[in-house]
Structures are given as structure tokens and as C-alpha cells.
Structure 1
Amino acid sequence: MRDVFVLGVGQSQFGKMPDRSIGSLGREAALAAITDAGIPAREIEVAYGSRLYADMITAQTVLKEVGITRIEMMSIENACAGGASAVRALWKDIAAGFYDVGIVVGVESMTTSPVAGKLIPPAKDDLEGQLGSAMPVTFALMANRLMETHGATPEDFAQVSVKSHDFGALNPKAQYRKRFTVEEVLASRPVVDPITLLQCCPNTDGAAAVILCSESYARRYTRQPIRIMASVLQSGDYFHRKADLTSFEVGARTAAKAYEMAGVDPRDIDLVEIHDAFTAEELVHYEDLQLCARGDAVGLLRSGATSLGGRVPVNPSGGLLSLGHPLSSSGVRNIGEIALHLRGEAGERQVPGAKLGLAQMLGGNATGLETGACAIHILSR
């Protein structure tokens, strides 16, 4: 297996843009990634697209807008982990030697989707979902359990949102660039106790793209290639085997495999980008990613270690809470975010001296499963 590198990254503006098409959003991100890589578009050999709410042929729909046709193209859906799953697929193609360079584009228009302005509806045969187990409910149960077992408080959950919006205020691509106080977060509209509106990610439109390549190809275009040291994708287990409501078994399992593949210790990670659709979720990921010991997530948050300037900043992009969450885009976007920091090109939100970063994305829900999928990529410079 060959080493695989991130050569180019790109992102559209994130926000509510119902007047923009999938092609338009994807084109913005793809062109940005191609320009960032400094390569001719005609050299792209393979392409993957990802979109949850799609008619068909996402990759072709987007890439025809930038003059790319007549190559192998594939579209992948894996809920919120779809974009990261597409990156994993391209990584395998290049690592195995099938291609030297390819592109992934994740794109979503939530404001024109069938769920615009609504909760994502459960499938007709999803018994738990039909009985009311929507995502906010799941994470509210998790939050209440964290208060019982970890000593978390509503103020702690609100602080996660405050931190994310502080980061988002520094990101010109973010949907929301407004800072909030703990009091303002807690005073926002209740959703499911103890979660309030400003503790939930917004509906968002947007696209992100990354270009991956082999080492020999990367050396032709850059002196600072970003290596993907680990790429791991795992599916969730049966819910009846879940032993702890304050952990995602699939998240912990995927993280352990990623650290083993990369040959690194969790303490070596300089920054992390994670799925934070709800504030309580971030605390759970701290422990599953081994950023702290079991039971210490609240202490890690309160210490400031996960804030900008801390030991391991989490979601310096603003995360899903502030940057926004166009579902299939997020797993591509957060890999690109890590790459920017490792190159020292993240602007005001730059993590100084970052050498090693982790991007995680999980998603999907079905009766009987803990969750659908989790993908983790570890990148280094």
C-alpha cells in the first residue's frame, strides 16, 4: 500500500442559500480545491461525490461544471459520514495503486431538501424513530446521563456552544459568525431538556472538496504534502450490546484502529475536528477519542484544553454548531480543515505549530443499531 497525501482543499460558503443549486455549490468547492492543488483539472483520474438528499449522479452533476468528464465516478451515501466515507474510498484507490490523483466532493442543500426546516424523519419501519427517538432526543438522554455520571451541568453544555461560536467568529466560511455567552445559550428556545436551540447544529447548505494523490504526484506540485496516516471506517453495533450511554462504541473502536494504523499516541494529537451536532455529543467524543481518561470529559472542557490556545483545540473551524452542517459535506470539510492547520494556512483560527490532526465524522440511525457509521482520518505534516 502506498502513502496517500492531501494536495488540495476547497469549500463553498456555508449558510442558507436556497437559490443555489447542487452544481453551483459543488463547483465552488471543487474549483477551490483544484486551484489550491495547483493542478490542471484534466489530470484528475477518478472522482467521488457524496450527497444524502440527491436525485442521482452527484459526482457527475458537480464535476461537469468544472470540465471533468469521461473518468470513473462514484457517489456514496453514508448519512453524516458520507463525505468521510468517500474520502476513505478514494484513499483506498490511491493507496492500492489504481490511480495517482482524484477528487472528492461532498455537497448538500438542506434548505431545498425534503426535510427543509424539519427534523430528519424516521423511515416507516424505524420503530424507535416513529415512537419519537429523534436525534435531539437521543442526545438529550446522553446529556442527562452525563449530568448523572460525570457531574456535567447545563452550563457545561452551553460552554461547548460558546467555544464553537468563538471559533466560528474567526472563520469567514461559517454560517454563523456571532459570539454568545453561556447565559444566552441557556436562554435560547428549549428543544429537549437540557438541550436548547443554540446547542443544536443548524440546517445548512454547502460543499467541500479534497484532492488526494500519491507521493510521487504530490512531489511534482508541493514541498509541503499532508500525509493521511490513517483512514478507518467502521459500522455500528447492535444497540442492545451498548454498555454505556456516555460513549459511542463505534467511535471508540474506530479511534483505536486509527491510532494503531497511524502508529501515534492520542496525546500526540494537536487538533481535532469532530461531529458535534449537539453540545453534549462533543464531551462524549473527548473520551472515545482518548483525549482524556474515561470520566474526565467535563474536566477537560473546563480546563480550556479544547479551546483555541489549549492543549488540543476541538473544532477550531467552528464545528457543526457554528460553521454549519450540510450533511455529506462535513466529513470532507473537516479533513480539509485539518490540512489547512497543518499547512499553517488557517488564518485567525490557526493552531500554532500543528503537526498532527484528527478528523472524525459519524452518523446514521436505524432501529436496533447504536449508530450507522464512524470514519476517522489522521493527518500529519
Structure 2
Amino acid sequence: MDETTLPPPADRRSVFMDIYAAFARQHMRLYGSTAQHFAAVAAKNHAHSVHNERAQYRRAYSIEEVLADRPIAWPLTLPMCAPVSDGAAAAVLCTEAGLRRLGVQSRAVELRACTLGSSVHRHPDDLEQHIGRVTALKAFEAASIGPCDIDLAEVHDATAVGEVIQVENLGLAPRGEGGLAAIQGHTALGGRTPVNPSGGLESKGHPIGATGLAQTFVSPVSTNGTDLRL
């Protein structure tokens, strides 16, 4: 290993990358997942970004290219990690009467539920009590829907393993199979449940405070010309 393949010093990367790398290694230990599974998620998201004119990075990667890129914190490489970006996001919330006054009914969507969570006390390996899982179940109940009703999803992917964790928390893939779903094409555009059609934070950029609200807007056009605006 030469200096071109060494991870950058800790003062040149976010400590959150070390935390996510620890989550990745936990997932590998519990479920036998591999770096290839996480690379498949990153490759899928970078492929989506090519079609999003608002993405910060719009380069497609193969799984092999993701794995061969610069290591950040094992098993994460650079394309698996989101850049910290500048950005802003806004949404207009209004009643049906307000929609009529604004004349934007064709772009409106109904907000079925909004559920917030902060933290839970659990054993680190008790992922069924993960705050993402607990909050997802509350949101599904409030919206009177389930995972099978989801057509597409934008989930938090500060790293590729973040998407794996949240896809499993949402029930879009069985526990331990979030990365496998990407390898099998289930979470790609045209798959069973497309995830991060915008390219995800790994490609679109991660403006921190604006990130969550920005995820309510998806890349305007998919690869088959379907309007994906939310």
C-alpha cells in the first residue's frame, strides 16, 4: 500500500465517515454483507445522478470503480461518501383553497404524515429498535400505508451504508439485504422500489441543514421520461 491508497488523515475527513464505517462493519458482522454490497449502492446512486441536472456530481461509476477508488475509512471509499455542500431547500405548505389561489394544483402532492423521532435506548445490535425503524413504523401507521405502497424513496445516504440501513428500516428490503437489493437492481430506476432517484447525497450533495427538505424534491425526469417531481 502506497500513500495514494492510504486513507486521508483524520483532520481531513469528517468523523462521521468513521462512524458510518463502523456501521458498515457491524452490518458485515451481523449479516455477512460485503464492501461490494455498499459499492453497488454507490454505483446505483451515481448512475441516477447522470440524469439529475441539479446533482453536484454527475459521473457514473461501476461497482469495480467504486471499490478501487480512494479509501476513506474501511470499507468505505470516496464514491460511497457524500460531499458536504452548500445548498438551500424550500417547500410551500397550504390548504386546498391555497392551492386554488396559487394555481399549482398539478404540482401538488398530499402530505399523508410527518413523524419525528430523536433517540432510543437500545443495544447497538438491536436494529429493530433503531430510531429509523421506530419512526418509520409510526409514519406508516399515521399515513395508513405500508412498505408495499411505496413507489420510490429518497433516504438519507451520507454514505452508501446509510442507505442500506434506512432501506431496511423502512421495510423496503429485509433486514440484512439492503445492499443485495441494489445488486439485484430492485432499488434502481426501473426496479421494484427505486431509492434515491436524485442520485442521493453521495452525488447530489449534502447541504446538512437543507438536506432533509431537499429530499422531498426528486430528479425531474427519469431515464424513461417519467416525471418524478414530488
Compute the TM-score of the two structures, normalised by the length of structure 1: 0.53
Q: Is structure 2 residue 123 aligned with structure 1 residue 230? A: no
1:113-128 to structure 2, matched below 5 A, reads: 118-120=12-14
Kindly tell me: are residues 248 and 336 of structure 1, through their superposed partners in 2, closer, same or farther at Cα, counting changes over 3 Å? farther
Q: CA RMSD in A?
A: 2.3
Aligned match of 1:194 in 69, 75, 100? 75
Aligned match of 1:250 in 131, 145, 148? 131
Number of equivalent positions:
218
> Which residue in the other structure is 1:182 paired with?
63
Distance 1:207 1:191 in 2: 27
> Which residue in the other structure is 2:3 paired with?
none
> Which residue in the other structure is 1:159 paired with?
40
Matched-pair contact (CA < 8 Å) for 2:221–2:227: no
- Structure 2: which amino acid aligns with 1:223? Q
> Which residue in the other structure is 1:347 paired with?
221
Kindly tell me: are residues 236 and 349 of structure 1, through their superposed partners in 2, closer, same or farther at Cα, counting changes over 3 Å? farther
Cα deviation, residue 236, structure 1: 1.0
Using the TM superposition, name which of 139-148 and 326-335 deviates more.
139-148
Q: Would you tell me which structure has more strand in proportion to its own residues? A: 1
User: For structure 1, which runs of at least 5 residues remain unmatched after alignment?
Assistant: 1-116, 121-133, 341-345, 358-378
Cα deviation, residue 217, structure 1: 0.9
Q: Is structure 2 residue 89 aligned with structure 1 residue 208? A: yes
> Which residue in the other structure is 2:193 paired with?
312
Distance 1:284 1:351 in 2: 29
User: For structure 2, which runs of at least 5 residues remain unmatched after alignment?
Assistant: 1-10
Kindly tell me: are residues 155 and 295 of structure 1, through their superposed partners in 2, closer, same or farther at Cα, counting changes over 3 Å? closer
Distance 1:246 1:155 in 2: 22
Cα deviation, residue 289, structure 1: 0.5
- Aligned to 1:273, the other structure's residue is in SS state coil
Q: Deviations over 1:84-107 (max 9, x none)?
A: xxxxxxxxxxxxxxxxxxxxxxxx
1:34-113 to structure 2, matched below 5 A, reads: none
- Aligned to 1:257, the other structure's residue is in SS state helix
Matched-pair contact (CA < 8 Å) for 2:48–2:189: yes
The structure with the largest alpha-carbon Rg is: 1
- Aligned to 2:117, the other structure's residue is in SS state strand
Cα deviation, residue 160, structure 1: 0.9
Kindly tell me: are residues 154 and 272 of structure 1, through their superposed partners in 2, closer, same or farther at Cα, counting changes over 3 Å? same
- Structure 2: which amino acid aligns with 1:312? T
Matched-pair contact (CA < 8 Å) for 2:55–2:199: yes
Kindly tell me: are residues 168 and 192 of structure 1, through their superposed partners in 2, closer, same or farther at Cα, counting changes over 3 Å? same
Kindly tell me: are residues 248 and 193 of structure 1, through their superposed partners in 2, closer, same or farther at Cα, counting changes over 3 Å? farther
Using the TM superposition, name which of 185-194 and 253-262 deviates more.
185-194
Kindly tell me: are residues 253 and 334 of structure 1, through their superposed partners in 2, closer, same or farther at Cα, counting changes over 3 Å? same
Q: Deviations over 1:118-149 (max 9, x none)?
A: 545xxxxxxxxxxxxx3122211221122222
Matched-pair contact (CA < 8 Å) for 1:151–1:298: no
Kindly tell me: are residues 350 and 227 of structure 1, through their superposed partners in 2, closer, same or farther at Cα, counting changes over 3 Å? farther
Distance 1:200 1:350 in 2: 27
Cα deviation, residue 298, structure 1: 3.5
- Spell out structure 1 runs of 4+ moving beyond 6 A: none
Cα deviation, residue 246, structure 1: 5.5
Compute the TM-score of the two structures, normalised by the length of structure 2: 0.86
Distance 2:164 2:95 in 1: 36
* Identity, % of aligned positions: 39
